[in-house]
Amino acid sequence: MTSRSTQGKVRDFEATTEDAARLAECFNSFDDSDSWPGGFTHGNPYTAERVLDEKKKRKTFRVLVAYSGDNIVGTCDIAESMMDKNAAYVGVLGVNPAYQGQGFGKALLIEGTNTSAEVGCRRLDLHTWGGNLKAMPLYKRVGFNWVPGTRVLMESFVPGIISNPVFKEFFDKYDWYDTLTREIRQEIDDLVEDNVGVYKYHFKGDNEDYLDVTVDREAKGICGFSMGLRGAVISVTITPQSHSGYIGYDAVPFAVRVENGTSADLPFSLKARGFPHFKTRLESPASGVLSPGEMTDIKGAYSITTGADHLDREMIPDTKVETQTEWSLTLGGKTMHLYSGLVPRDLLKVTSGPRHPTLSPSESKSVQIYVSNNAEEVIKGELEVAGSDDVIVGNLKSQFTLEPKGLDSMPVEVTARNTDGSSLLSLDIAVYVIKDSERIPVKKQKLEIPVLGAASALVYEDLNNMIVLETESIRLALRKTPPMIASEMEYKTLGRAMSGWFLWSEVGYPFPEEGSEWSRRKFKVTLTNSDTYAEARFEGDSEERPGLRLFLIYRIFPGRNYIELSTRMENHGSEKIKNLGIVTKGWIDPRMQALYAPIREEIYLLESVDWSGFEQLPKKPDEYHEPWIALTGHDERGLMGYIWNQDGITEVSPRRKWSMTETEYKLSDLSPGEAEEKTLLWWVIGSGSWREVRSLWARLSGNSIKEMEPVSLRSDLDVDLRPRTSVISSPTGTPVLVDSRRDNKMELCLRIAHGNPVSTSIVLQMPEGLLVDGKKEAHFEASDIMLGNPFIVPVSISVAKSDGWLHKSGEVRLQFNKRNAIIPLTFVTYDSGCDAVRESTDVEGMDLHTLGAGGVTMSVSAGYAGSLVKFGPENQRSVFYDTFPRAEPFIWWDRFFTGLIPIAAGWGVWDWESSLPKERWRLSEKDVSPWKGFEVTSEFCHSPGLKELYFRASYMILPGVPILRAEISAENRSTEWKRFSLGFAGVPRLGGKEVSNVHTVINGKRIFHQPTNDETEVAVDPEDNWVVYEEPTSGQALGVSVACKTRDILELRTLSENAQLVTISDWRELDPGEKTTIVAYLVLTSDPETMIRLKYMPEKID
């Protein structure tokens, strides 16, 4: 079929590099169109290679492109519909904004309609949204209707109309688009005629030629027409009395009217082909000859038999009813098909309250059984409930009289018999209608109630036509009707429920653009409950690949918060089946704020609004050094994880919102009799941190990971301003150290977690008093930035005017295609010319080594347990408890050391304090420019569980800045695995006062705490790991920050009204030869807000 509207505008896409490059340019232009809310490329521009790869993997009827000269200016994919083999689907549809309004979109849809007719489809579908004011009139003009109850599915029945043999003479004479006349309304098409929902088409030719077509909205096919050619008119209509019918109850009358408005006799015949659970009864002759001007009404009745599935149009507005008749109508030797159907409804619907009742072993519970009336008349009847052998419940009966839409209920007390394990209880429910003194059975169902112990897993069918897999903490519901996929998930522990279409698998290669035989398949279902798992197994045979049998297997496990999805493919044919693949995907809104992904030996954190992983993170599985991603919600009260199988996976597409993470696998070719089984995904649902997902991966795969190992998280967008000679990459937020005495040769480094190259504009703005390359700000353009290819540019930083050592108003502004970001920069200016004075003395037989620089003094003693004995402003008292050189009783400790003391305790050792003073420490000077200080070392010989561990502690200050860096490390020089804690502890004594006010972060909130004489204990949020002690009388404040931001290391305790304790410690595990480190910073300040800017001081320095 051709149309003058498409000539010179539309052609087929050619799978060449040249055409792919043209189409990539067209795709990228869609980002500038208001037809794609949120953009089309999502910040990942298309390339010719990407276009060819996607087209190669996707199965379509046809890929159309609109062209102007050598340019591709629009595109339209025509593919299979998801749910209806008689329909086609518009996949990608778009026009370059610069070419919109010139008829290219119309030409693509006209050609797409013609294509749908040519491949034998009677309908063409597409999705859009109600606010698409520009495109909606176009869609309706070319024949699409807005399906009631959807946002927004549109259906065009023009393909079936123009390919209908009875209408051939009309469309041989007229172009369908030129003659189609419609009233264009920007609203739902909800026309109802004679109680039947319909769509109407009117084609107007010359000289009063016309064609009117009526479409049955539920059967999704032509149900009537009137055609006039050269004054001869033929009309046919099918009119059921109602558009819905009750399953197993009564019949719905219908009439088929045939009218002969021609001048000759019109032979006709009508035959009905019913679908399963649908009967058509004719009550008058269905064939004959109509004289000119004569008409006939063929009457009959439709009925829906038991076994049909109830269809709730409010919940499922778009599905074609299976309860329909295909009429074969022959008129004057030409045969066409007409369609008429009913929405299958339960006369009486049975539900339970709660929807999914559960019991614990030996528990009793009242369960409500509800009966609701879907009819338009009063219904009288009886409800019977009987229990199986494993449930204690009496045979119960209840009579009811229900008004239309009325509801009645019967409470049933259910008791599980004594059992130690899990089991399923069954209640047999029967519903009868009393009509004319006759007791008519209309409903028989089983309500299965799982009995769940502390570790249980069960699979069963519920009253809502769903298959449910359930443990004590999670519940997954799978649809029993196509598409047979997961649609509900609940994490019962937190009452968190999600809905969507997910855990959906499609078979390739190629993969369908929209739907396939598998999305339309009603699988054979086998449910298995065992001691170790519960399983739902779906089984189906392929029509398109003879001999291929597909199994989809869903499993849950007692005491586990994950679902395992596997597949098995078998070849029952006589030929080898080649090029097999499977992809798992779906749509769900988990409402998670953060995504964690292990890429290239780093754990990346994605929590920005703009970048959520979609079309951002790498798709190549070998980019992920561990095969998992994790999504977490606020305060870790929601957790979703994906763990994939590394064997055979070819692509992974992580996402944080709206869609599931997609996984694609290449499977082996199957010779006759061969089979392959593969686990595709472990889907984790629960609460907690990303570590839960990683730990599960390690257990499932047999890999060993150190649960106590600190892990640094890398942002998906890192900005680092560092010395050019540095080899250490610091995370975003790390303060920049600048020497006030010279020009600082530095480099600005931008790293992003992006699998494809992107570009950005960069503005580096300096705070007051600092300059970059002699100016207040610098501008850069960066391109081709991606994982492994950062943007690095040299800059020179200088201090023009010094007003204190902390500068807080710097920033880096970034403008990507689909993300804008402002990264605050904090600068710390130190004085390299400041004199650093070291002194060593002996105090009552105890060594004391002091370093003063720029108004700050610290003292370290090797003999005094390797402690930082004193720290504070020059010539002022220490900010810590100070009894040096004595160690005196303190609260309930036998002895307590002054200052900040190292902590080292073996696993399970109660009295580690007594052994620690026996270890011998050696002291040496340590300078790591610009830091200056001391280092103490010791190989432990006396402490239980710590022998042959080598400890190193260093204390260094930054000249001219009141910041001290404290680091403690341990190296396992033994031949045994070791578990121990290490860190520091100290008692703040600001201004000589026993207690100070506390500023910190707990449960994601800034808190201010004024201690009383009550004992308190606070674990600071690991994502912050900072505290400020503030003594209001003197105005003095001490900040403490831990460099690690992923573990609970910082603990604050108020011991009484006379003492506070700050502890920086963590449990670590070391194999022989391994090392571990904890780094903390102490800051003297009068402003608690200073710590906010300094909380990301670097973990490593060079």
pLDDT tens for each residue of 926-945: 999 999 999 999 999 999 99
Cβ atoms of 337 and 166 closer than 8 Å: no
The predicted model gives 842-849 an average pLDDT of 94
**Is residue 151 helix, strand or coil?**
coil
**Is residue 986 helix, strand or coil?**
strand
Q: Residue 132 pLDDT > 80, yes or no?
A: no
**b/e burial code for range 603-631 (CB count within 10 A of at least 16 → b):** bbbbeeebbbbbbbbbbebebbebbbbbb
Predicted pLDDT of residue 552 = 98
Predicted pLDDT of residue 756 = 86
Predicted pLDDT of residue 420 = 64
pLDDT band at 891 (very low <50, low <70, confident <90, very high): low
Predicted pLDDT of residue 652 = 96
- What's the chain's length in residues? 1102
State how far the Cα of 899 lies from the Cα of 353, in Å rounded to an integer: 63
Predicted pLDDT of residue 470 = 97
Q: Residue 135 pLDDT > 90, yes or no?
A: no
CA-based nearest residue to 24, from 89, 80, 91, 94: 94
Predicted pLDDT of residue 303 = 95
Q: Give strand pairing partners of 665.
A: 582, 649
Contacts with 860 (C-beta within 8 Å, 6 or more apart), sequence order: 848, 849, 866, 867, 868, 869, 923, 933, 934, 936, 955
State how far the Cα of 219 lies from the Cα of 672, in Å rounded to an integer: 40
Predicted pLDDT of residue 419 = 63
Q: What percent of the chain has pLDDT over 90?
A: 75
Q: Residue 2 pLDDT > 70, yes or no?
A: no
pLDDT band at 849 (very low <50, low <70, confident <90, very high): very high
Predicted pLDDT of residue 737 = 96
Predicted pLDDT of residue 392 = 67
Q: How many CA atoms lie within 13 A of 470 on its CB side?
A: 27
Cβ atoms of 426 and 388 closer than 8 Å: yes
Average model confidence (pLDDT) across the chain: 92
**Is residue 610 helix, strand or coil?**
coil
State the CB neighbour count (10 A cutoff) for residue 480.
16
User: Which one has a higher pLDDT value, 1058 or 135?
Assistant: 135
Cβ atoms of 639 and 663 closer than 8 Å: no
CA-based nearest residue to 640, from 453, 503, 511: 503
Cβ atoms of 466 and 479 closer than 8 Å: yes
**b/e burial code for range 511-538 (CB count within 10 A of at least 16 → b):** bbbbbbbbbbbebeeebebeeebbbbbb
**Is residue 327 helix, strand or coil?**
strand
Contacts with 422 (C-beta within 8 Å, 6 or more apart), sequence order: 450, 451, 452, 453, 456, 457, 458, 529, 558
Backbone angles phi, psi at 479, to 5 degrees: -75, 140
Contacts with 109 (C-beta within 8 Å, 6 or more apart), sequence order: 76, 90, 93, 138, 139, 142
Predicted pLDDT of residue 1099 = 92
pLDDT digits (tens, 9 = 90+) for 700-731: 999 888 777 778 889 999 999 999 988 888 88
Contacts with 159 (C-beta within 8 Å, 6 or more apart), sequence order: 88, 113, 114, 116, 117, 121, 122, 123, 124
The predicted model gives 790-797 an average pLDDT of 96
Contacts with 613 (C-beta within 8 Å, 6 or more apart), sequence order: 595, 597, 606, 629, 654, 655, 656
pLDDT digits (tens, 9 = 90+) for 418-430: 666 778 888 999 9
**Is residue 52 helix, strand or coil?**
helix
Backbone angles phi, psi at 50, to 5 degrees: -65, -40
pLDDT digits (tens, 9 = 90+) for 636-661: 678 999 999 999 999 999 988 878 99
Cβ atoms of 869 and 887 closer than 8 Å: no
Q: Is the pTM of this model over 0.85?
A: yes
DSSP for residue 319 = P
CA-based nearest residue to 873, from 771, 985, 991: 991
User: Which one has a higher pLDDT value, 87 or 915?
Assistant: 87
pLDDT digits (tens, 9 = 90+) for 536-565: 999 999 999 999 999 999 999 999 999 999
Q: Residue 1042 pLDDT > 70, yes or no?
A: yes
Predicted pLDDT of residue 185 = 87
Q: Residue 118 pLDDT > 80, yes or no?
A: yes
Backbone angles phi, psi at 114, to 5 degrees: -60, -40
Rg over alpha carbons for the chain, rounded to the nearest Å, is: 37
Predicted pLDDT of residue 416 = 79
**Is residue 315 helix, strand or coil?**
coil
HEC sequence for 898-909 = CCEEEEEEECCC
State how far the Cα of 341 lies from the Cα of 318, in Å rounded to an integer: 14
Predicted pLDDT of residue 690 = 93
Q: Residue 34 pLDDT > 80, yes or no?
A: no
Predicted pLDDT of residue 231 = 92
pLDDT band at 894 (very low <50, low <70, confident <90, very high): low
State how far the Cα of 969 lies from the Cα of 1068, in Å rounded to an integer: 11
pLDDT band at 336 (very low <50, low <70, confident <90, very high): very high
Domains of the chain as residue ranges with CATH: 1-156 (3.40.630.30), 185-345 (2.60.40.10), 354-371+394-453 (no CATH), 454-702 (2.70.98.90), 716-830 (2.60.40.10), 836-1094 (2.70.98.10)
Predicted pLDDT of residue 453 = 86
Predicted pLDDT of residue 1057 = 77
pLDDT band at 213 (very low <50, low <70, confident <90, very high): very high
Q: Residue 146 pLDDT > 60, yes or no?
A: yes
Longest dimension (CA), the chain: 130
Q: Residue 1 pLDDT > 60, yes or no?
A: no
Q: Residue 635 pLDDT > 80, yes or no?
A: no
Place of tokens 């009645």: 408
Predicted pLDDT of residue 805 = 94
pLDDT digits (tens, 9 = 90+) for 969-1007: 999 999 999 999 999 999 999 988 889 999 999 988 999
State how far the Cα of 797 lies from the Cα of 790, in Å rounded to an integer: 21
Q: Residue 798 pLDDT > 70, yes or no?
A: yes
Comparing 38-42, 426-430, 600-604, 1015-1019, the range with the smallest average pLDDT is: 38-42
Identity of the amino acid at 256: V
Predicted pLDDT of residue 1012 = 82
